[in-house]
Structure 1
Amino acid sequence: MKILVTRKIPAALLKPLNELPNAEIVMFEKEDEPMPYERLVEELKTADAVFSNLSDKLDKHALEQAHNLKVISTLAVGFDNIDLEVAKAKGIKIGHTPYVLTEATADLTFALLLAVARNLPQGQQMIKNDQWKSWSPFGLTGKQVYGSKIGIIGMGRIGLSVARRAKGFSMAVFYHNRNRHEEAEKEVGATYCQLDELLEQSDFVVLLAPGSKSTYRMLGKEQFKKMKNTAYLINSSRGTNVDEQALYEALKSGEIKGAGLDVFEKEPISAEHPLLELDNVLAIPHIGSASVETREEMVQVTITNIINGLTNKELVYEVPNS
């Protein structure tokens, strides 16, 4: 029974898989780069299960080669890298790790918000460049977060957790979602509004919508025009939700004040990416869930999904319609 693990995972965490009868663990021995697509396709030909992540391209071609595959378990909430139609047709179950990373991602989202609002990256760079010569009355002055307005696009579990943090800063919370979120309205006094209204009044626009065809580049040229020129965009959802060229132009022209970005349309981005030329952009390498506690719990859920899938049990978290 072959279990393919597409990134290096600490041996201690993989112990439950090694204890499966007749288990053969085939693991890619690099942690910081994905398994090459050609090898992934080749390994899938004889795999019974795969421990994958967002960087693995489990497309139609790859899955059509997988003749024994019973379960895909991805170390992520999102699954837009997996061809769900092919998987369903082949009877492959797909597990993922929702709920586990809610608080870590909310922490990171709010950290981005605070950092861009108060010019923390610029301050650090000033010291590194030996440019801090004296106190200045208006040097590196930023936006006060306390009492400001936050607009959350995508009021799911992470959105609600961000809203709770915002409430601690006495921020007015606005949100846009496919459906009203009564819990958010009752608990933090969040106000539901249409997207245009949210963009027009928010000091911080926080994008937490899932990646899908309906959200592809949902923020572009027209949406940035509606934002305040003192407003900031925070994106810790999916890079595909933003038109990056339009964002670059809005930031460069001063149409919006700044951005904190954990995700990009194509990852990893290169050091030559146009957004990195701008001083008003804080870019980090997709680390929303990167706390030790969260990643270890994600691994545990991923492994349990694999074990359950191989033993004909219900997955802990199964992708709908997979």
Structure 2
Amino acid sequence: MNGLKTLMLLSALTALFMVLGYAFGGAGGAALALLVAAGMNLFTFWNADKIVLRMHHAREVDGRTEPEFYGLVQQLAERAGLPMPKVYMIDSPHPNAFATGRNPENAAVAATTGLLSMLNRDEIAGVMAHELGHVRNRDTLIMTMVATIAGAISMLANFGLFFRNGDGRGFGFAGILAVLVAPFAAMIVQMAISRTREYGADRAGGEISGNPRALASALRKIASGAERIPNPVAERNPAAAQLYIVPAHVSQLFSTHPATESRIAALEQMAAGMGVLPEVALPSTMPRNGCRSALFPHDRPVPRRSSALDPHNRH
């Protein structure tokens, strides 16, 4: 059902782009707009992951450079039945994570050092399971396409307002109305698609990690931290907000994500249905890297080392 809804909304977004093209150049303009949309999506299909990772100055890590974080993602990918994605870290105190890539075979997941320092192992597992949920649901491609078309609609509308005749007769009243309404309509469609995919990724994250409450706990901490700690990338590129597990400094009315409280409530309900008991608070002095995880009880203790996952190594 979510897949059909997304297809319908994506079609509506493309149609909106064609309406703008028609407003500028009639049937020929609509056809040209369709070709432009197809070309933009083709370019995005092949290059979006590279653009996003370069934008965040992400660095790729592996089992040698970050064995604990990489190993955690590897275990979760196996649980999800996914190929091992590329794993990246972003040197930023802002707590967040995202996934990108055109398909599960070419996916990448990334987390900031701020997130890894703020959360415990089970919470990190919940977050990365959420991102792998996006990969499994192929949201990474869908959301990139949506962002590309929505951005093109806004750019085309601005172009129309700037270059229309001063008396407004350049492309008629209907054209002017389309130019004024199109960006707002595109934003509404983009938000509808994004919010649907976030709930789906939360459910997938709870299933993959086996602990929806850990993901709920992570969302609380990330939401609080993201409000306090600036994110220069999102400030320079507001469209990047839809990538993150929790967007920051965005009015809920215009947010691409559902309210964090609603997501937490859904995860708590999911946990109750799975019979997952509330977590017992551990002493704050208990080391994380040297003990077994509640999520992975059979993991061997990991020797303490200097790592972004080490609570004693703050960035």
Higher normalized helix content (fraction of residues): 2
TM-score range, shorter chain: under 0.3
- Higher relative contact order structure (alpha carbons within 8 Å, sequence separation ≥ 6): 2
The answer to which structure has the higher strand fraction is: 1
What TM-score results when the alignment is normalised by the length of structure 1?
Answer: 0.25
TM-score (norm 2): 0.25
